[in-house]
């Protein structure tokens, strides 16, 4: 026969932690946007990415937008 139940301990791992997660881009968060591009346009963005040392496809698109429409 069990006379008492052991108290549940609160887990000490997981959950939110300061400094965890992806770093903000230029101090701002990002937003996911879906666009549809033709194969020709994808190739152009990829070429830009290679020629301008963009980190990834999204960075290449941001560079192109900033070049066409500077702040």
pLDDT tens per residue across span 38-55: 999 999 999 999 999 999
Mean pLDDT, residues 2-19 taken together: 76
pLDDT for res 6: 73
Residue 59: which residues within 8 A CB-CB, separation 6 or more?
49
Confidence of residue 2 (pLDDT cuts 50, 70, 90): low
- Torsion sign (Cα): 12, 18, 23, 25: positive
Q: What percent of the chain has pLDDT over 70?
A: 94
């Amino acid at each position: 026969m069990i006379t008492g139940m052991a108290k549940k301990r609160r887990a000490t791992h997981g959950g939110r932690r300061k400094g965890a997660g992806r770093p903000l881009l230029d101090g701002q968060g990002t937003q996911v946007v879906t666009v549809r591009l033709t194969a020709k346009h994808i190739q152009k963005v990829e070429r830009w990415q290679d020629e301008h040392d963009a980190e990834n496809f999204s960075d290449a698109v941001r560079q192109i937008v900033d070049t066409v429409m500077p702040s």
